[in-house]
Amino acid sequence: MKLSGEIALASGFIFDYSNMINTDTITPAVIETLESKAKDAADALLLIREQGMAKAHLSKDGTPEHVLFTKLPFVQNGNPNTPESIAKLKQFGSYLQQEIDAVVFLGVGGSYLGNKVLFDIFAGSGWNVGCEKSRHGYPRVYFSGNNLDVDQYSEVMDEVEYLATHRLGKNEQFRVLLVPISKSGTTLETLAAFSYFYEQCQKSSLLQMEVAVVTDLDEDISPLYNLAKENVWQCFEIKEGIGGRFCIFSDPGLITAAAIGMDIDAFLCGARDMENACQSASLGENPALLNAVLKYAAAEKGVDIEVFMPYAAKMKSVGEWYVQLLAESLGKRKDREGNVVYYGRTPVSAVGSTDMHAQTQQHQDGKKDKVIQFVEILEREQQIVLNNPFTHISSLKKYDGLSVDHALKIALAANEEALNSDGRLNAKYILPRIDEYYLGQLLYFLMLSVAYEGELADVDAYDQPGVETYKQIMKQKMSHQ
């Protein structure tokens, strides 16, 4: 088996793994010993694709549960995303564009992290302070319910009331849409925030409130759905077989895409092309499988920390989303045979070049127990070339004519070279640009990589039994308050 050091897809997406092999940790010989395991992992994913079931996977109630994330990129009847469901989202986005002044999304975990990724990349920090024209009529967007934090509640509510007081909306009365997102319809953080905002909006004479819910559309499961039926609120569905950390390509994530006018079709197309590119059992032809094998090989050598480090400030939330994906999917006490294995890596979110002035000291000089994953964006929509206004200071002359983006690329290259000089594992995902299509490719690639690694390690990548321990303790404590 010959590994070239990178896999370049026809789309332009590149997985550069050259700094993961030929080191003291992972040699070509090590990879060769894992080829049989890799084939088994590919076969297991094929079974998930065909049957929607993963080996030994059960719901938290101990009943068989589907695994359907591989069907999300394909919009067709019988899949989680159907032509009707996507059309409904787009119509919802058009309604918000015409009628709603502010949306408050209320969710935690997978019901928040993916939404924040989409907002940060395609709306950004200036979205809410810009004029309506700059948003093409789409509403201001706020997030809450991702923590039990009274200050966060108050800050969002104060801002909405300020906008209403100063008539900074498109309507005579400021129209606010609350969107609680919870599969069970009982999530503490989500329902606490929803209760607060619902009551505050009801009491305000300045606000006209509407509600849309995203939940399981089973009245025996979700009290939130029962509330929606009772009050005739619009409903979007969290489908069975789609775990929170995999839901960004379905209603719970796409509802934010609709609210900011994102190109949903391009986003799903990116995921679909990545799915089609990652089905081979050959490591040289399947970047997600190879990524999983390299991470698994590193884990076998004692690497138990993974740093996700995009060189783009607005991709910080991608790292935060990936923290959940990696930690919940692979952090497992037992394998699927019931053996205690304590598998997984501690995920760390970083941003280049910011964290070169913080975390890189540990990456470079600390224990060799880390793999660093870079993300590089080849082309930026905007370019800034500096002029030096302080010509009399000789030490600042080097900044005259400097391209800021080129400097960022130099910083990434320097970080790579420094790590390589000490045999420290690192790899790079390269995107031609950051748009809906390529974000779809990257996020889906990461999902598949985690799924393949779960098969290699023989752990259930689709459950999270560890969180049930604190939930039971918390539930008991809450009952005695």
Known active-site residue 328: yes
Judge whether 375 and 95 are in contact, CB under 8 Å: no
Annotated catalytic residue within 133, 136, 203, 357: 357
Q: Which residue has the tokens 């259930």?
A: 460
Structural tokens at position 24: 């003291």
Q: Which H helix or E strand runs over 50?
A: helix 35-51
Q: What is the largest CA-CA distance in the chain?
A: 74
Question: 349 in helix, strand or coil?
Answer: strand
Known active-site residue 363: no
Q: How far apart are CA 91 and CA 93, in angstroms?
A: 5
Judge whether 145 and 192 are in contact, CB under 8 Å: yes
Annotated catalytic residue within 60, 229, 406, 471: 471
Structural tokens at position 163: 């906008």
DSSP 424: -
Residues 6+ apart with CB under 8 A from 195: none
Q: How far apart are CA 414 and CA 437, in angstroms?
A: 29
Known active-site residue 57: no
Question: Which pairing describes strands 426-431 and 207-215: parallel, antiparallel, or unpaired?
Answer: unpaired
Query: Cβ of 317: how many Cβ atoms within 10 Å?
Result: 20
Helices (H), 208-284: 223-231, 251-259, 264-277
- Least Cα distance to 377 among 18, 11, 10, 13 occurs for 13
Annotated catalytic residue within 65, 189, 328, 455: 328
Q: What is the radius of gyration, based on Cα positions, of the chain?
A: 23
Judge whether 291 and 449 are in contact, CB under 8 Å: yes
Q: What are phi and psi of 346, to 5 degrees?
A: -80, 120
Residues assigned a catalytic role: 328, 357, 471
